[in-house]
Amino acid sequence: MKILVDADACPVKEIIVDIAKKYNVPVCMFVDTSHILKSDYAKIFTVDKANDSVDIHLANNTDKGDVVVTQDYGVAALILGKGAKGINQNGLIFTNENIDRLLFERHIGKKVRRSGGRTKGPVKRNSENDRIFEEEFEKLIKNSHNC
C-alpha cells in the first residue's frame, strides 16, 4: 500500500506526511511544473502542465489497495475502479456508493455555469476542516494497513 496525492492545490500535505510516517507508509505526491514541492519523506513526481497531466499520472500509478487524496471526482472514480480508496481534503471518503451522485452533481454544476448561471463556490478552509481530514484519513490508513 502507498498513499498518492494530487498535490497541486492540496492544503493537507503536511498532515498526510505526518500520518504516513506514523504508519510507515510511502507517499507519492504529484504536481505540475508550476509548483515546486520538496519533502524529506514523500517522493515528488513533477509532470508537465498539460490539462489533466497530474490526474492521469496519479491514476496510472495507483494500484489496488492504495489510498489516494484528491478533490477531483473524476480521479476518484478512476481509482475506485482500480480497487484503491479515495479521500478528499475535507475528509470525504469516496465510495462506489457516493461517486455517481458526486459526478452527477459536478455535471449539473457545469451545465448551470455554461448556461450563464452561477453556482456556490467552496467555503473558506478552517482548522476544523483539517481536524476532520486528519481523523478520517488516519482511520482510512489504519483500516487499509490492517488488510
**Domain with 124 in it: what CATH number?**
3.40.50
pLDDT given for residue 104 in this prediction: 55
**Count of CB atoms situated within 10 Å of the CB of 6:** 24
**What pTM, to 2 d.p., does this model score?**
0.86
Confidence of residue 35 (pLDDT cuts 50, 70, 90): confident
Partners of 6 in beta bridges: 30
Other C-beta atoms closer than 10 Å to the C-beta of 63 total 12
The domain total for the chain is 1
DSSP H or E run through 4 = strand 3-6
Higher pLDDT, 33 or 69: 69
Please state the rounded mean pLDDT for residues 78-86. 95
Question: What percentage of residues in the chain have a pLDDT greater than 70?
Answer: 89
Which range marks the domain in which residue 129 is found?
3-145
> Pick the residue with more confidence: 16 or 120?
16
Mention every residue, 6+ apart, whose C-beta is less than 8 A from residue 99.
73, 76, 77, 80
